[in-house]
Structure formats: structure tokens, C-alpha cells
Chain A
Amino acid sequence: MIGTVFNIQRFSVNDGPGIRTTVFLKGCPLDCIWCHNPESKSPSPELSFDAKSCVECGTCLDNCPSGCHRLKGGIHTIDRRFCRLCGSCTRDCAGGALEIIGKECEAADVIEDVFRDAPFFKNSGGGMTISGGEPLFQPEFTLELLRLAKAKEMNTAIETSGFAGWKCIEAIIPYTDCFLFDIKETDGCKHLQFTGAPLAPILENLRHLDDSGASIILRCPLIPDYNVRAEHFIGIAELADTLKNVKQIELEPYHPLGASKACNIGKMYAVANDKFTDKSFSEAWLKDIRKRSTVPVRLA
């Protein structure tokens, strides 16, 4: 079973309990303004260029069959209109600045890769997490990864927006130990505005998931000037308290690393904020939500 993966990250300590390996799948049906993995939105491979790493060797200019690369006055530009994603420029890129993001992988190979850290998983209560993008945008591939992981007795987790057909979610429940479920906005209008997707079907999936007895952690990105406000905090708390199986609320304060990634793939980034969230703010939000909910809350 083939799927498109853009990263396999070992020693992930922020994607579920214990020491984990996170498999990032490419492609997402949402279009969140603040996405910190903009290279994961498109399901197709993309060319990424990290200008900071460019050593101006000019090799890509020579290798590119379409003449996309220009190096003038120490500034390296790429005309993406002509890019065929052939990858020739990435092969000899001395600085490692050019990369094709997204690769087709065989599920069994991914699992074999992940399984190398099994001894660490065992000693830490860790395992495999599937993330992205949106894993359920490749539902059969995700199901296969989870099935194979379970066959090797690995603990499994999935990070999902919940925006998928219920049948896709239902299929993976028997193979998933932990659902890291995103709650990006509790106001329906704003949800559509900020993520491009309606809230209602996501909440419906969440309730079904809860009824099934699955173990759930709510993951809440907090983006100043967008969703940081009392009503949303109240919404998160109410949601957690009305559901039966929410084990934890994890708050993800905004960080600006998405902007440079967007730039690297030639896309715009809508959020102007270029600062990491100050610790005092994160702690204030943590305190606030803790007051409102009986479910444990922590900062991711």
C-alpha cells in the first residue's frame, strides 16, 4: 500500500505519550491560516528551497533542465512556473537547501523504519504517531500503517483535524490507542473563516469518537488575534467536560516557524505575527482554561 509521506521524525516527545516516531503524511483538506506545516497542505510533492542554507555554488543552475534557478547578485531565485519537480536541482545541492518534499512510500517499509525505535517505545510508553497534513486524507494508507503497527505490538496515536468521513475514523478506532484531536475554533463562523472547513461535521465526528470509548486528547492551537478569546476558551472547556473520554487538553501556543516554511515552498503566509508566544501569555491561557475545565490541561 503506497502513500505520500513527507517526514518520519524519530524521538518525537510532543506528539503523544513517551518517546515516539511521528510519520507525517502529505495532504490536508483544511487550509488553516496559521498552519505550521504549510508544506503538508498539498498532497503532491513540492520543491522546497531554504535560502538560509544556500551556499551559492550554482550547481542547481547547471542541473535544472527547465532553467528555473537564477543566481544574481548573491540572490538565488526560483521561477516555479516552469518547475517540473524532476528533482535534478536537489541532487547536488551542496548546502542541502533544495529538497523535494513528499515521497511515495510503501506502508510496510515505513513501519520497518519506525519499528527500529521499538526498544525506546517499550521503555517510555511511546510508539508511532501518524500526523501530517491530515492522515485521514489518505485513509487506506493510514489504516494500513496502524494495522501493521499493531501487528508489531506498537502503541499508536493519530493527530487529526477530525475533518473526514466518519467511516474512515471508525475503521481506525480498533488500531489506535490515542486520538490527538484538533480543536481550532469553537465558533462555527470563525472556524470556516480561519480553516476553510465547517465545524459541525468535526464536532459530530468527535462525539461519535467519544461514544466509541476511544481515548482522546484535545489539541488546541492558540493564535493571538485569531482565536485567543474567552468564548473560545469556554468552548474548549465545555467540549472537554461534556465528553466522556477526553483525557487531556493540550494547548499549542502560536510559533512563527510556519512562515519560513511557507516561503520555502513559494507560498504566502497569512499570519503577520513573527514572534514566539511569550511564556507569560501561554501560562495565563493555561491558568484560564484550567479554571474552567475538570479535565487536566497542559502546554504542548
Chain B
Amino acid sequence: MKCPEMTPRIAFLRKYYKENAPVSVFGYPPWKVQRSETLYVKGWIEAKDAMTTRLRRAEAERYVQAHQLPVIDPQELLVGQPDYHPFTPEEEAEYAEIEKLYNNVIPRKRGRADHMGLDYEKLLRLGVCGLIEEINAYDEKLDLCNGEDLEKHEFYEGCRIELDGLLTLERHYAEEARKMAESENEPRKAELLKIADVLDRVPAGPAETLYEALQSVHFYTFSLYGIYSAGRPDQYLYPYYRHDIDGGIITDVEAQELIDCFCLHYMTNMCSWAAAGFEVGGHTRDGACVENELTWMFLNSIRHTHSADPSVGLIITENTSEEILQFAGEMLAEGYTHPAFWNDKGIVDSMMRHGYKIEDARWWTHSTCVEITPIAKSGVSITSPYVNTLKVLLAAIEQADDSITFDGLVEAYAEGMRRQMQKDIYQENMWQLERHRNGNDPYRCSVLTDDCLKRGKSNESGGAVYNFIEPNMLGLMNVTESLNVIYHLVYKEKRLTLSDFKRILAENYENDETLRQYILHKIPHFGNNDAFSDALAKRVADIALASCAPLRTFRGAEVIPGAFSYREHAIQGRTTPASPDGRKAFTPLTSGSDPVQGYDTSGPTASLLSTVGWQPTRFLGGTAVNLKLSKSTPDLPSVIVALAKTYVQTGGSELQINIADADMLKEAQKNPDAYGDLLVRIGGYSDFFVRIDKDLQDEIIRRSLM
């Protein structure tokens, strides 16, 4: 398909958002410290007479919705942004007090919230008022003198309170648009009146046009102040697009522009590091293949938004066309960091092995970076928690003596992992207990998650159909490589004993640089398709999965880990001592799901085959495989497509491409102002290079030099 060009409005909005939407404030994602927190606390205080604590929090949510200032920026077509205007000194002072209350008086947030895809299809079909009607229908059947029913009623009441707040916000935005229109000239005047018109209808009512559909989805989501996947927009938006095109209401240029507006809001609504996004392609719930005009246009928006977010995935099935793959390959070859490629069959099969029904498995989403959750049915808790598996190995090594065999050492590590996961999942389960009792996630999230309304329970109380916990294993390839090195040096070559090695590690290789160089250069490393280390990686991966398999969550679900890193490889690395893989103390762990940085020296085909060997699709908690390719590779788009297809066919899960240019990265470090647009791919997500912490920047540069 020939995709429409970017309009001047989009160029303007991109620049405007980039210059005005805050990247991060006080080092945290903006919405955590902005006015929503202040409003929440005020609402909480005001609702002191709410009948129950849970209803008090629903009232606080309503307060936030009802009192936040509508923000409508120049040339916007889709509206809905947190109020990011800088705090006045009075607001700063007020916030200082509020923060104390928020952290000490209101129940603390525990465990992982949001990070899921909501039922936008239902929202668009029913509208908020239709959802309220459905809630009322359930509520009417309850016996308010029955304990269980009363709890359900409380939940329904909380939903109604919050949705009422949302409708108020919608009205306020429409009023603001009309007010602004009064002092504007054409064509902006008409645009603002149109915005108001659309907001008169959605999200309160069902959507009819693509404009309404996009506005409805965006409005519902932005006001949740969380990270939500947009799921499969080329599916749930398609009927509205078709309706408009067939009825001559919209052109493809206008449709593309609206889609670009929607995607640009990831800059205003999310911060760097949020990694929120969506995926296109794949299958419908019924198993039909998806590749339509919206699939192309959402991919095309990557060129227009040219940003770290949204995180766009292209799902590869056996029917994915060469054209769309080539389209994606061309974008990546030009330096865009999206889309990532996803193996539909591998992921769906893996989900079904854990009890997902096939129609639910087909509608998986990468909830932020790369974690797999089911759209519209997710009570799945992702990256819960990050587990530093290298520290577990180091502890096992510390406790072992020289009489231990290699297999004995591996078993000691496995035992360490079992104990670690028991401890970690215990904490997650306690947090889930706390979330059930005192969690303050918006009920609006549960409203669009099955089967919360049917069961009369919020997501935190087990209302969702699927409730897995997905911890995330950091450093599995450091563990693999460390065991590999120990095997070669201690057991095969008998160069040194385990005690010798422990001393060397304790000294951070300071007196044994020669040995460290030997490790770097002479040991056959994992990532080169070497039979021994490939088998070892599978063994290490199996141990990770086995450590989770016997555990169950507070809600009775399984524990299924991921194996990627986000930014944690750099963060956790800072407290991790030297490791047998040649890694010096307090330096980053492996990034993403890749071999140790620089150890895969046989090219991408060998590296990918090594990764496929440990069967990454089993790690539904997410994997992120990052390939660097040189810009000078001939036929680069075709090479990218060939690598992606082969990776998927041989059993890979997720693949992301970075076109490396170490010189440019070094320049950007020295001269960040000139490189504001430079995007890089990190361990599962993208970011603007110049915004990243220096040690992560250094790690990326080191990686690209290898």
C-alpha cells in the first residue's frame, strides 16, 4: 500500500510536544509527581465520609477527573493531556505537604499496576454510558443483604463513581474547546468546534467514525495516568475506518493524520522509559489473518512521529506479506527503532501450554517493553519482580568448595534460584493481598477487563480471567557465560581451582588481568552457536523456568518468567560484583536477552541461533533480542527481513534492530543538543539517546563498537 505523507500539522505537533511535554521530572515519570497526585489527595480528604475505604478511593479518582484542567494544544485534533504546566511556587509548597500524605497516610501502592491492554472494542461499542448501563444491570440483580453481593455492589458503585468523573472531564474538555473557539479564527475555530462536537459524543457514547473512535480510546486511557498498551488498533478501529472511507467521510490522508495525532500523544501522555505501544498484524480472535490499511498506516506513523514511543510491533505469521515486511525493513534500515518483530505462532502456542484459550492467546499484546499479556482479560503482573540471577550464581559459587563437581555447582545454582523465587513470589503475593484490600488502581481499568464486571470484582481482587505473575530474570546470559568459563578454566583445562577463582573475583581481577584477557579471547563464548555453551544456556533457561513452575500466586495462577532487561541491566549491574564471565564489578549485566556484550563474534546468524537454542518463546514474561547491523550492509532492508523471518521460523520470540553508528553515538554524547532526534534501542524499548543516563549511554556505545 502506498501510505500517505506526513502533514504539516503533524510536523508542528511533534516539534511542539518535544519542546513542551516534560521528559522526566525529579527523575520519575511525570504523572507521578504532577497535579494528579495533588488532586487525588485532595479528593481523598474531601471524601472522608465515603461509606467504605474502597469507595473513598473511587471518590478520589472522581475528584482527579473532575478537577484537572483541560489541556488543548495548538493544532491538536485529538485532545487529552495531563496538565504539565510548571508548578507555581505556591503549588510547589502545597505539593511538599501533599507528598508526605501521599507516601505516609494513603495506602502505599504495592506490586505492578496497569501494563495491560484494555477492552477498547467494548468501549467503542458501548460508550461509557453503555458501560454504566451494563454495570447497573449486574447491580440490580444483587441482594444487598447478602455479604458477597454487597461486596460486588461496592465494586459496581465504585465503577460508577469513577465513570461519572470521566464524563465530567469529557464535558470540561468540550467546554474548553468551545471557549477557545470563541477567540480563534478559521480554520482553527472549526477544528475546535469539531473537537467539542466529538467530545459531546465520546467517550460517553458509542463511536461512529474513526475520529470518534481514536478520541474515545485516547481519552479513556490518558486519564488513567498509567501505562497501557493500545492492543490491536488495526483490528478494533478497522470498522470505523471502513465506515468513513466507504461513506466518503474521510480520506486516507486524514485517516493517517488522525492516527499520527493518536501516536504523538505517547509523547505527552507517557514519559521516556514507559515503552508503551501496540502491535499490528497477527490474527483476529477467530483466527483470521490481519493485514489491512490500518496495519500499514500505524506502521507508517513510525516515520511521522519519529520518536521513542509508541513502541510498535509487527507480528509475523505464516501469511505476513513480503511487502509489509520490506516496508518495516526499510524503516529500520533508515535508523528508526521501530517496529520490533514478533513470532505469533511461538507466542500463541506457548500461551496455550499455560492454559490460555486460543481466542484469548491470539489477542496477546506486549504490555510495555515485551511482556506478553492477554488484551481485555489481563490481571497479569509483569516484571514482578526483577530477579538478579547473576547474584544467585555468585552466592552459590561463594558457598561451594573445591570438591564440588560442575554439575554440583549447576545444581547449587538451581537450588539458589528455587529459594530466591520462593522468597520473591512470597513478596509479590503479599503485595497482591495488599492490592486486593487497599490497592488504589482506578476501577476504570477493571471496567474494561473481563471478567471483572461479570464477577463483580476488581482486577486487584481477581476479577480478571488471567492472573499470571511474570517475574523477570536479569542476567541469565551472564550466568550461562560464567558457568561456561568456570567449566573451561576449572574443570576442563584445570587452570585454576574454584577457590582461586573466588579470590580473583573478590579482587575484581585486579591482579589477574591476564586471566581476564584469556577469558575474553580464548574461551568459546555463548552466542557463537558453540554446542557446549548453547546447551548450557538451555540448561540455565530451564532452571529459571523450573524455579517458577511449582509456585502459585495469591489468585491461584502460575508464575511464568521473562528474560529481558529494560534498563535494569545497568541499574542492577551497579551493585553486582565481578563475575566469572570476565565482567568487572559494578558494570552492567547483559542487556535484553542477548549474549554477553561483545561475546557473540560470529555474526548475527550464529547469535540468533544460539538464542533460539534456549527456546525464548517459553518466557512469556518477555524477551528482547537486539541485533546491531551496520548501515553499510548491502540490501539492508532485505537482510533485516531475512533475519527476522528466519528468527521467527527457527523459534525466536521478539527481535529488535538497531542500525549502529558508534561514531554518531560518541558525537551525541559530546554534543547532545545536535542529536536530540537520535533514537536507540535498549533492552526492550527505545529512547532518545541524549536523554539516557551516562552509564547506560556508555554501555550502548561499547555494545555498538563490538
Contacts and interface: CB of A to CB of B under 8 A. Distances in A.
Given A10-B605, A55-B513, A116-B609, A94 B518 contact: yes
Contacts of A117: 605-606, 609
A195 B609 CA distance: 40
Q: At the interface, is chain B mostly helix, strand, loop or mixed?
A: helix
Interface in B633-665: 633-635, 638-639, 641-643, 645-646, 649-650
B183 interface: no
A57 interface: yes
B639 A124 contact: yes
B522 A96 contact: yes
B506 to A, nearest CB: 21
B605 A120 contact: yes
A94 to B, nearest CB: 4
A268 interface: no
Contacts of B609: 116-117
Contacts of A92: 518, 522
B649 A123 contact: yes
A10 to B, nearest CB: 5
B521 A96 contact: yes
B514 interface: yes
Given A10-B605, A13-B634, A124-B638, A119 B514 contact: no
B642 A19 contact: yes
Q: At the interface, is chain A mostly helix, strand, loop or mixed?
A: loop
**B interface, size bucket:** 20 to 34
A53 B639 contact: no
A8 to B, nearest CB: 9
A245 B518 CA distance: 50
A92 B605 CA distance: 28
B604 interface: yes
A11 B605 contact: yes
Given A10-B605, A13-B639, A117-B605, A94 B529 contact: no
A215 to B, nearest CB: 18
Given A55-B517, A93-B522, A94-B522, A116 B529 contact: yes
B521 A94 contact: yes
A94 B519 CA distance: 8
B603 A124 contact: no
B604 A123 contact: no
Interface in B605-642: 605-606, 609, 633-635, 638-639, 641-642
Contact of A119 (B520, B529, B603, B646): B646
Contacts of B606: 10-11, 116-117
A139 interface: no
Interface in B504-529: 513-515, 517-518, 520-522, 529
Interface in A267-300: none
**A interface, size bucket:** 20 to 34
Interface in A110-142: 116-117, 119-120, 122-124, 126
Contacts of A19: 605, 639, 642-643
Contacts of B605: 10-11, 19, 116-117, 120
B642 A120 contact: yes
B643 A120 contact: yes
A123 B603 CA distance: 17
Contacts of B517: 55, 57, 94-95
B650 A94 contact: no
B602 interface: yes
B521 A95 contact: yes
A42 interface: no
A98 B522 CA distance: 11
A96 B641 CA distance: 34
A51 B227 CA distance: 52
A193 interface: no
Nearest to A54: B517
Q: Which of A59, A96, A122, A123 has the most CB of B within 10 A?
A: A123
Contacts of B518: 92, 94
Contacts of B649: 119, 123
Contacts of A14: 634
A235 interface: no
Contacts of B604: 11
Nearest to A19: B642
A92 B645 CA distance: 40
Q: Which 10 A-B pairs have the closest CB atoms?
A: A96-B521, A11-B603, A124-B642, A94-B517, A94-B518, A57-B514, A123-B642, A10-B603, A119-B646, A94-B514
Given A10-B606, A94-B514, A122-B646, 6 more contacts: A11-B602, A19-B639, A19-B643, A55-B517, A93-B522, A96-B520
